[in-house]
Chain A
Amino acid sequence: MDNSVLLGAYVFLLAIFLGVELIGRVPATLHTPLMSGTNAIHGIVLLGAMLILGDVDSFVLQLVGFLAVILGAANVFGGFVVTDRMLEMFRKKPGAGQKR
């Protein structure tokens, strides 16, 4: 097993423990926004798509990479925007009324 994968495995394990600790005591109210927020964060896979597309020559692979970049970017942008809209509603009451 080469070193970079081994290093990755260490980092991975530590991050797993960190992830569990970070959201250990989250009130049920925040479960949905939290799921949505983490959903946006795993959009980080966009980086992988960019690195692939930036590194390939053949038409087929460019097509695959391009598709991956689109989907990854949609995950990132959509995820953060949806989460923000959910959390916008947790503000303190801005007075009564506010209807759509």
Chain B
Amino acid sequence: MIDNGRDAIIDLSYLVATICFIIGLKQLGSPASARRGNQLASVGMAIAVLATLFTRGMENHLLILLGIAVGAAISVYPARTVKMTAMPQMVAIFNGMGGATAALVSVAEFTHKDVIPRGEGISIVLGTVIGSISFTGSMIAFAKLQELMSGRPIVFPSQKLINGALFALIAVLAIFVIALQDVNGARTLLIVLFLATLALGALLVLPIGGADMPVVIAILNSLTGLAAALTGFVLSNQALVVAGALVGASGSLLTLLMARAMNRSVANVLFGAFGAVQGGAGGAAAEGGEALPVREINAEDAAVPLAYAQRVIIVPGYGLAVAQAQHSVRELADVLSERGVDVRYAIHPVAGRMPGHMNVLLAEANVPYDDLYEMDDINDDFGKTDVALVIGANDVTNPAARSDKNSPIFGMPILNVDEATNIIVLKRSMKSGFAGIENNLFHDPKTTMLFGDAKDSLTKLIAAVKAA
């Protein structure tokens, strides 16, 4: 009787937690309520964790609490202190941890039973496969974003063959594990399957360029959600199923939205590097032949057109994030506004390393929300603009995306920076952007280049504008 009451309370707690997730997710979709939404979801999580702790027949409570404490200890400090610029890799690493959890849960669940019914077997195998792909894939994404390894696509001979063979191996193993049902016979197979999918996850992400990591993280995020839902099937826990499925669905939709913003298909993002190997090499050789001229400028000279402009559009990119220059850029905008210059920001949907990356950074520096314009809302105004100030953005301004059919980014919508009367580009060096291609904007006769760290350059510009 008492135990029944306890079960009912636990089940109801899961229901409440699920409602928290649903409403929280809804609130996350609007700027005004987003923070509350996140907090509500975390309350739901706390309820669900507590309910699980009190589940009947649970042992090892101390070990569980210790594990939660360790997990909190290793994650909260970096999450609190990480620079806003490093957010994408934080999301990647936390996502990888979730994927690993799902895979470990699936493997452990399989191993500690004797006979696995077929329905559960399918869930376990899929949970293992998806969880471990998400884990190693996220770790590679993290390494690329953290620049622990090259952000360039990594391709090597017979990569397709190896991936194909690995995929076939995984498919065969999966079928055997599900068909066998007898755990003792299948245990080794499942562990081999686990290791093979770990390898596949890494191999799938290696050939994807750093610029595409946002889409990759969105996909992996969605996959981890699915893996979580699958463990819910096995454990007959509906809270797990619902929360996992919500993430899986919203993550897939987010992936599509992001791929659409780059005018590319998800398949092209994932497998584009394979086709591009030969074409890319040829293109690079052709570019290398002729050194195109660029006009360099110093801060004092750059300040003059800015200070006497009527309309300025600031185009921020990853360089702004790297240099932590969001406060400086706002200061420059303030100084210009005081002089009566109309300053606006043009935000390309994939500027930076994640969609919305620039919005988050500029919001941190208290740039008014109304000054930020999305690409479609501002693109027609570049023609009426005196100065376009490009700060560490590259590929999203490359006119080749409009004109050069051979360019790897052909067809991607870009900001029409080249239509402005003057273009000032703040950039560290002439190194090409993440896509690794030449940007003809920098060789445009209207363009002047101010080389250096974006924050330093902006500080000098601010002083020079004040003096002008």
A interface list, Cβ under 8 A from B:
1-2, 4-9, 11-13, 15-20, 22-56, 58, 61-62, 64-91, 93-94, 96-100
Contacts between chains A and B (CB distance < 8 A), count: 384
- B235–A41 CB distance below 8 A: no
- A78–B63 CB distance below 8 A: no
Q: Mark B207-242, 1 if CB is under 8 A from A, else 0.
A: 000000000011001001101110111111111111
Quick one: which of A6, A27, A34, A66 contacts B250, CB cutoff 8 A? A34
Cα–Cα distance between A53 and B119 once the two chains are bound (Å): 22
Is residue B395 contacting chain A, with contact meaning CB distance below 8 A?
Answer: no
Cα–Cα distance between A76 and B228 once the two chains are bound (Å): 13
- B90–A78 CB distance below 8 A: yes
Closest to A24 in B: B253
Closest to B224 in A: A42
- Minimum C-beta distance from A6 to chain B (A): 8
- A19–B249 CB distance below 8 A: yes
Main secondary structure of the interface of B (DSSP, over half): helix
Cα–Cα distance between A27 and B117 once the two chains are bound (Å): 44
- Minimum C-beta distance from A45 to chain B (A): 4
Cα–Cα distance between A64 and B190 once the two chains are bound (Å): 15
Question: What residues of A have a CB within 8 angstroms of the CB of B244 in the complex?
Answer: 15, 42, 44-45
Cα–Cα distance between A91 and B360 once the two chains are bound (Å): 11
Question: What residues of B have a CB within 8 angstroms of the CB of A52 in the complex?
Answer: 105, 108-109, 112
Known: A15-B241, A42-B225. A35 touches B91 (CB 8 A): yes
Question: What residues of A have a CB within 8 angstroms of the CB of B49 in the complex?
Answer: 46-47, 50, 76
Question: What residues of A have a CB within 8 angstroms of the CB of B31 in the complex?
Answer: 27, 29-30, 90
Is residue B257 contacting chain A, with contact meaning CB distance below 8 A?
Answer: yes
Closest 8 CB pairs of A and B: A73-B71, A19-B249, A69-B67, A78-B75, A15-B245, A54-B58, A5-B119, A31-B355
Cα–Cα distance between A70 and B38 once the two chains are bound (Å): 22
Identify the stretch in B76-84, B399-407, B448-456 within 8 Å (CB) of chain A at 4 or more residues.
Answer: B76-84
Cα–Cα distance between A29 and B25 once the two chains are bound (Å): 15
Question: What residues of B have a CB within 8 angstroms of the CB of A62 in the complex?
Answer: 60, 63
Quick one: which of B63, B243, B366 contacts A66, CB cutoff 8 A? B63
Report which residue of A24, A50, A65, A71 has the largest number of chain B beta carbons within 10 angstroms of its beta carbon.
A71
Question: What residues of A have a CB within 8 angstroms of the CB of B257 in the complex?
Answer: 26, 28, 31
Q: Mark B259-283, 1 if CB is under 8 A from A, else 0.
A: 0010000000000000000000000
Cα–Cα distance between A86 and B23 once the two chains are bound (Å): 19
- B78–A38 CB distance below 8 A: no
Cα–Cα distance between A93 and B98 once the two chains are bound (Å): 35
- B70–A73 CB distance below 8 A: yes
Is residue B202 contacting chain A, with contact meaning CB distance below 8 A?
Answer: no
Question: What residues of A have a CB within 8 angstroms of the CB of B258 in the complex?
Answer: 31
Known: A26-B29, A81-B75. A37 touches B254 (CB 8 A): no
- B101–A72 CB distance below 8 A: yes
Cα–Cα distance between A35 and B355 once the two chains are bound (Å): 10
Question: What residues of B have a CB within 8 angstroms of the CB of A12 in the complex?
Answer: 229, 233, 241-242, 245
